[in-house]
Structure 1
Amino acid sequence: MMTIDVTDVNETPVVDAGQMLRFDEESPAGISIGLVTATDEDATDNAPVFSIQSGNEDGFFSIDAATGELTLLQEGVNRYDYESFSLLVRATDQNDAQLYTEENVVVNVDEIPFSGGAGTEADPFRIKTPKDLDEIRNYLGSSHADKYYVLVNDIDLQEYLSEGNPGYNNGLFWERLGYYENFEGHLNGNSFSVLNLKINRPNEYINGLFGYVNSAEIINLNVSVDPLAEIVGKSATAILAGSVSEGSIISNVHVSGKVNAEPGNVGGLAGSFINGSVISDCSATVEVVSTGSAVGGLIGANSGTILRCHVEGAVTGGEYVGGIAGISNDQRARV
């Protein structure tokens, strides 16, 4: 008499539900993100075969068919572009392709402050994206005066400032870095450019890429305004900074574009430049417009030191109007 063993049957593998993996933005290609897990009654003899069915159209990930290990294939994934991925993962029985289960596995992209670096002089924070540049606003005040930043490429703000993106701000566009607290760190532009800056804040004071700059250093940087727009604000408005004070150093910085602000202290590079600060080897190719006082192609109101700088363009103002500075009103001021 023949006996048939009916207990040895293939079971459908089941991808464990609710799995969530994560990795840091700007991670290098080739890192392991983690394991996708599945249960299978036949696992001791026949481990399931893993595959990604959808959610990976851009080819960011691969999955090991035998182990379920998920690997990042492309570097430079940024949380501004991708906050998370939902991958439909299938686990298939090795002996029967008809037996499979699919589940969504969520892969979150964790935000890191910048695109690398430790913020020290030897290893500065690396500014690679508009989000990196915007992140500086979280490192203001005297407690962050020891922070160093370096641009590693040009930063184009056009998309970041467009409607539906983080810098749009209901049509006010870029919010200056430093208002309630000063920027007091050290930024090296590395001869790269911030492009397509746009500000439309006619009811707000202290406007520019930076707001208040105090005891800080900004060097080797180019900043240009969106050619179809302008920098609009109230007093102390310019392209680089609204107000620069307390021994700050601005060197080899070049700005271009249009500034239109009221009622005064309006400049191409800085609105006001105060007390012991030094600006050297800088230039402005600008149109500066105001009906108020202290309107300058480089600086609106100056009481610092200006060395080896030049301006090209047109400056229009009510009174105290100049190509380099609208007014230098301190005995220590020197142009």
Structure 2
Amino acid sequence: MKHQEKPPEGNLTKPMEFVLLDFADVPHLQWFLFGLFLIIYIMILVGNGTVFLITKLDPALQTPMYFLLGNFSFLEMCYVSVILPRMLTNLWTQRRRISLVACATQMCFFLMLGVTECFFLAVMAYDRYVAICHPLHYPLVMNHKVCVQLVAGSWMGGVPVQIGQTFQTFSLSSCGSNLINHFFCDIPPVIKLACGNTTVNEMMVYTVAVLFVAVPFLLILVSYGKIISTILKLSSATSRTKAFSTCSSHLVMVTLFFGSATITYLRPKTQDSAGTNKVLSLFYTISTPLFNPMIYSLRNKDFIKALKKLLRK
């Protein structure tokens, strides 16, 4: 981020509301974008809601893997609901104003749920590691109590830090501009409005990104390194194929989410571009919730069987 020279004290303000510019630079596409994002939002809610219900209702799916998948689907619905309803309202009404409190609340929940998603993906990788590398100990290691603790830890792990980071971001004074060149209240575009030296805030963003994005990602890489090593030692080609198939869905989700999030928050700010940030943000806020039900369910015979059973009822 480019540091701005601190202006005279009289020019420092704390705006009580902001304007989310979102896609105002393409006015001829407003209705098209509204329809597109509305369809996407409905698909996300229906798809993830179906996965959540089936994993809770079908007795055959009461296993650690499906317990985690059900909670992950619920998380995806919450995650996307922090952003898309406000964006749809802005596109519909063309009123892009958002109060300081609403902006800070949106940022805080977005950050907390984003961290939760990182933790969930790491926990799901650990689940696959235990299932493939230590199958005899799997029922003991991944018992219901442990699963509940892992899920609770994922939900609560980043809450204090993200509340603090949100408070720190909105404690900055603005140079008078309240125009956020984004479709939601994210840290980088809000910090751009700040006056003076924002080095501490930028370092905080990098530190938190490393702790809550890079560390879970490294744990996932270690887990899959051990998983692949174990799979390659299997004598049966059928067993290898089956083992790879149980991991491929999760790997696709990891690539989609961590790839775009890492580029957004950890790439050099000399390459900063509002348009690029919007595209990348759309990718990791919408693509993973949208593709989650398709990736996990369409290739899963147990899930398809449970879905047919539910539809028959």
Q: 1 or 2, which has the higher strand percentage?
A: 1
Q: 1 or 2, which has the higher helix percentage?
A: 2
Structure 1 length-normalised TM: 0.20
Which has the higher relative contact order, 1 or 2, with Cα contacts under 8 A spaced 6 or more apart? 2
Larger gyration radius, structure 1 or structure 2? 1
